């Protein structure tokens, strides 16, 4: 198990842009079709914007039509955490960074094969790292 990162909100606030902070530390959601990665097709790894942990591979990214970057699997199940989220009158599964607890987005079961899963992730929670 990887060591967890714990920081005060004030420290995260210093390191992140206001939007990154709102999404990852206050469970915010960027507006659909506005983030930098929903229509981005680079080859590489998407890392946590907060702690740099490897979360998703571009090879598992697909066009969901949702307006948010969507993946059918994380790089490794141990890199993320899933929580029940009953906010806004819906029951959803929240997806978080396993290392630093950053809110990333939500998990739905309407994804493509082979997993049938859709990890619907905010661009603001990710930092793309091009494959060398």
Q: What residue spans of the chain are helical by DSSP H?
A: 9-15, 18-25
Query: Two tokens at 93?
Result: 């599964």
Give every CB contact of residue 65 below 8 A, 6+ residues apart in sequence.
none
Active site (annotated) includes residue 120: yes
Q: In this chain, which of 16, 23, 45, 48 binds Fe ion, going by CB under 5 A?
A: 48
For residues 81 to 120, the per-residue mask of contacts with Fe ion, x marking binding by CB under 5 A and - elsewhere, is ----------------x-xx-x------------------
- Within residues 52-81, the interface with Fe ion by CB under 5 A covers 53
Query: Two tokens at 45?
Result: 């790894």
For 1-132, list the strands marked E by DSSP.
Answer: 44-48, 54-57, 61-62, 70-71, 80-85, 92-97, 103-108, 118-121, 126-130
Residue tagged active-site, from 48, 51, 100, 120? 120
Give the separation between CA 100 and CA 51, rounded to whole angstroms. Answer: 6
* Minimum gap (Å) between residue 103 Cβ and Fe ion: 10
Q: Which is nearer to Fe ion, 23 or 48 (CB)?
A: 48
User: Binding-site residue total for Fe ion (CB under 5 A)?
Assistant: 8
Tell me which residues are annotated as active site. Answer: 120
Binding site for Fe ion (CB under 5 A): 48, 50-51, 53, 97, 99-100, 102
């Amino acid at each position: 198990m990887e060591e967890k990162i714990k920081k005060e909100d004030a420290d995260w606030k210093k390191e992140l842009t206001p939007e990154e902070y709102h999404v990852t530390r206050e469970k915010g959601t960027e507006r659909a079709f506005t983030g930098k990665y929903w229509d981005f097709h680079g080859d590489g790894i998407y890392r946590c914007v907060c702690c740099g942990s490897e979360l998703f591979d571009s090879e598992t990214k697909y066009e969901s039509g949702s307006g948010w970057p969507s993946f059918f699997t994380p790089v490794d199940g141990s890199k993320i955490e899933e929580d029940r989220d009953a906010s806004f009158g819906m029951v959803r599964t929240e997806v978080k960074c396993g290392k630093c607890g950053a809110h990333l987005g939500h998990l739905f079961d309407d994804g493509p094969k082979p997993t049938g899963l859709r990890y619907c992730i905010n661009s603001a929670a990710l930092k793309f790292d091009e494959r060398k």
